[in-house]
Amino acid sequence: VLPWDMGRQDVLDFSEELVKQVGRPVILPSGDTSRVSASIGLSSRGFEVASAKDLLEQADFALFRAKEQAAGAVVEFSSRHAESKRREVLVHQAFKNARLDREIHLVFQPIIDTHDGTISRCEALARWDSPEIGMVPPGEFVPIAEKAGMTQEMTLAVFRKVIAQLKVWPDNACIAVNLSAQDVNSQQCTDLMASMLIRQPPSLRKRISIEVTETSLLTDFTEVHKNLMKFRELGVKIALDDFGTGFSSLRYLQELEFDIVKIDRSFVSSIESNDKSFGLVRTISRLCRSLSIACVAEGVETREELEHVRAAGCHLVQGFYFSTPLTAEKMLPYLTGEESFEGMGTLVPVPRRDVA
């Protein structure tokens, strides 16, 4: 809390200095050097606030934005922030009141095995059509649900829909479900999912996979391990999503016994222009093969990207090049083989070596 009469520039200078001082290396008694960094969010009476609490909330909001930037950032609460905070509050309120079973529906994006053009599985992606505020994309409502600790209800609603869908789709159709960090870390949520699964025949359970991201594994490894093993014991496959964006720990790959690794889109979209991305995709796909883990390239949008990921040894592919997410009804003819995805036609066949 700074004196009322300090000018804006003085406040910024003070903050920069604070970050600089906190960031100075500290020599520990052991002789090692320790470094910490600080980020700062600022708010002032520039925006309408009813109370000190509002002011703190604004500073907190700016701090969130600061943390998204490089360490040591200083961010002032701005009118742009005020707008996105208003939207966040609106979405949060609507989500809290939502009847998710009714308001959420699923679309499905195929993961294609480019050896032969068959569908390896479909990823279920949530769409929320709120009667209060209209369509909200998952990139917006999932982080809000996560921040508010409200993912469980959403995940269970999605999971129920996935099980229902598998019952009406052909027997060879498999579905992947996304789990939030909180779900994977929650004994209650994973128990509830397991109790839904146990009521299904093994032949249905083995058609389900769950996708978890690296960041969800960071909090309590033992708890996450225990929760994930509930799925494994029931025959559900486990995928590591967005691989390469977090810590990409080999320990996770080995100890959590992943069946599938999904290479993040950021590597795929830079694969043509960046030799390092190509090298990384090749290394990850080799690593997966030697560990008997299936490897999927995410976000393949063009023919060139497809050729590159295949040349790098990755033959399971998801992305707009083959298909955007489709409704269950539109997906059906592809699952029955009545229709096939364009773009497979002229691919040079390669011998099948990887696991599926």
Give the interface with ligand C2E as residue ranges (CB under 6 A): 109, 125-126, 137-139, 142, 158, 178-180, 241-242, 299-301, 318-320, 325
Return the range that interacts with Ca ion (CB under 5 A); candidates 35-43, 174-182, 193-201, 230-238.
Answer: 174-182
Query: What burial class does residue 9 get, using C-beta atoms within 10 Å of its C-beta: 0-12 exposed, 13-18 middle, 19+ buried?
Result: exposed
For residue 236, the minimal CB distance to ligand C2E (Å) is: 15
Amino acid identity of residue 273, one-letter, is S
Given the DSSP bridges, would you call strands 175-178 and 208-213 parallel, antiparallel or unpaired? Answer: parallel
- CB closer to ligand C2E out of 59 and 122: 122
Strands 104-113, 33-34: pairing is unpaired
Q: Which is closer to ligand C2E, CB of 203 or CB of 215?
A: 215
b (16+ CB within 10 A) / e for 92-103: bebbeebebeeb
Tokens for 133?
């505020």
Reading the block at residue 322, the tokens are: 């083959």
Q: Measured from the CB of residue 161, what is the shortest distance to ligand C2E in angstroms? A: 9
Residue 178 binds Ca ion, judged by CB under 5 A: yes
Quick check: 211 binds Ca ion (CB under 5 A)? yes
Which of 44/245 has CB closer to ligand C2E?
245
The binder of 313, among ligand C2E, Ca ion, none, by C-beta within 5 to 8 A per type, is none
Grouping H, G, I as helix, E, B as strand and the rest as coil, residue 36 is: coil
Residue number, 77 or 128, with CB nearest to ligand C2E:
128
Distance of CA 307 to the CA centre of its chain: 25
Q: What is the DSSP string of 180-228?
A: -HHHHT-HHHHHHHHHHHHTS-HHHHTTEEEEEEGGGGSS-HHHHHHHH
Which is nearer to Ca ion, 139 or 201 (by Cβ)?
139
The least distance separating ligand C2E from the CB of residue 14, rounded to whole angstroms, comes to 38
Q: With binding defined as CB under 5 A, does residue 242 bind Ca ion?
A: yes
Nearer to ligand C2E by C-beta: 39 or 155? 155
Q: How far is the CB of 150 from Ca ion (least distance, A)?
A: 19
Q: Which does 137 bind (CB under 5 to 8 A by kind): Ca ion, ligand C2E, none?
A: ligand C2E
- Asked whether the beta carbons of 114 and 310 are under 8 A apart, the reply is yes
DSSP state of 348: P
Binding site partner of 214, from ligand C2E, Ca ion, none, Cβ cut-off 5-8 A by kind = none
Interacting residues with Ca ion (CB under 5 A): 178, 211, 241-242, 298
